[in-house]
A and B are shown apart, each in its own frame.
Chain A
Amino acid sequence: MGVEWKPENFAKTVTQNAVNRVRQICSAGVRECKTSMPRATIGDHSKPGEWPHIQYASLVRNIGMWVDAEGDKVHGYIGVLPLVGGGKALGGVEQDADEGYPFWLEVGTRKMLPRPWLTLMMDSLEQQFPGLRFTRNIGNAIARGVTRGLHG
């Protein structure tokens, strides 16, 4: 039996496996967000430190992910997809398009404590995927209204 070493194929396989793994993690993050936010009922608002409750779904509807592979680096992004179409969300439903809304939920304001949906998702992923480590770019990510999400 002969064995032939094809480094280019090997590298491609490694990258593809990494992409699949990162995609799996990002999917789990999106699923975590979408399934953990409870629907708001009258008089039942989210409390500080909790998942925000869904009222108009302007956050939960726009949470998404994508994976970039560039050379030997694979980046996964989880967060709010950019709002498009002049105030229309990706789902095509008109709403008070405020790209800052997810950001302010995550970090709070001077008069509102955080409903840290992104961090709760990170906590959950860290427990589901031991060894997972988010890069220190959360500041940069949340700065853009989480339109680019996590860089993990």
Chain B
Amino acid sequence: MARGFVLAFADALRDELLADSGVTGAGVTKVFPQGTGHNPAFPYITYAFITDSPRHGLGFNDPAYRMLRFQVDGYAETWTEAATTLDAVVTCLDGATLTVTGWGVPRLEGEGSVIVNEEVEGIPVYRSISRYKAVLAGTNVT
């Protein structure tokens, strides 16, 4: 049985990030789902899926496309490192197309980004947050 869309998308996203020379050039070697990863070395990237909804179109009985919104976070020890990671991630993902095995080739579109200081016990941890949406069109959307 083929992997579900979100799991297959996660695989494709991780592969895309780790295959990008800009991202690895920023020092990132690990990509985790958000909330996992046990004290990984900085910098590293996490991702989280925010919403996933089939969308209907006029004249279609079945959903005409599917929109997945997700977030990619880069964690770094310094603001500069966070900015470098963010630049690399946005350059890699904004406008890219991902090949999601068994599902199709959704196009990604950036929805904004920001860097915040997520301080832990007085120690600054800089987090670059960027949001994207992926649109999967065609008949194979559910």
* A127, closest chain B residue (CB): B55
Q: Which of B91-142 contact A (CB under 8 A)?
A: 110-114, 116, 118, 120, 125, 127, 129-131
Q: Which of B10-62 contact A (CB under 8 A)?
A: 34-35, 46, 48-51, 53, 55
Q: Mark B49-77, 1 if CB is under 8 A from A, else 0.
A: 11101010000000000010101010100
Which interface residue of B46, B127, B131 has the most chain A CB atoms within 10 A? B131
- B48 / chain A contacts, CB cutoff of 8 Å: 48, 108, 113-114
> A119 and B114 in contact (CB under 8 A), knowing A112-B35, A138-B131?
no
| A114–B48 CA distance with the chains assembled, in angstroms | 8
Q: Which of A135-152 contact B (CB under 8 A)?
A: 136-143
> A138 and B35 in contact (CB under 8 A), knowing A110-B118, A113-B48, A123-B51?
no
B110 touches A136 (CB 8 A): yes
User: Interface size class for chain B?
Assistant: 20 to 34
Question: How many pairs, one residue from A and one from B, have CB atoms within 8 Å of each other in the complex?
Answer: 67
> A139 and B130 in contact (CB under 8 A), knowing A110-B35, A113-B35?
yes
Q: Mark A102-124, 1 if CB is under 8 A from B, else 0.
A: 01000111111110100110010
- A49 / chain B contacts, CB cutoff of 8 Å: 49-51
Choose among B46, B112, B118, B127 the residue that contacts A140 (Cβ–Cβ < 8 A): B112
User: How many residues of A are counted as interface, with CB atoms below 8 angstroms from the partner's CB atoms?
Assistant: 25
A140 touches B114 (CB 8 A): yes
B111 touches A136 (CB 8 A): yes
| A109–B129 CA distance with the chains assembled, in angstroms | 11
- A110 / chain B contacts, CB cutoff of 8 Å: 34-35, 46, 75, 118, 120, 125, 127
| A149–B112 CA distance with the chains assembled, in angstroms | 13
- B34 / chain A contacts, CB cutoff of 8 Å: 108, 110, 113-114
- Is A56 part of the contact surface with B, judged by Cβ < 8 Å? no
* A103, closest chain B residue (CB): B116
Give min CB distance, A103 to chain B, whole Å.
Answer: 8
A114 touches B112 (CB 8 A): no
B35 touches A136 (CB 8 A): no
| Residues in A lying within 8 Å of B, measured CB to CB | 48-49, 103, 107-114, 116, 119-120, 123, 127, 134, 136-143
Known: A107-B129, A108-B34. 11 other contacts (CB 8 A): A49-B51, A103-B116, A110-B34, A110-B46, A112-B35, A114-B34, A123-B51, A127-B55, A138-B112, A138-B131, A143-B116
A-B contact pairs, 15 of them (CB 8 A): A49-B51, A107-B71, A107-B73, A108-B35, A110-B127, A113-B48, A116-B69, A119-B131, A120-B51, A123-B53, A127-B53, A138-B111, A139-B112, A139-B131, A142-B112
List 6 tightest A-B contacts by C-beta distance, closest first: A139-B112, A143-B114, A138-B112, A139-B114, A139-B113, A116-B50
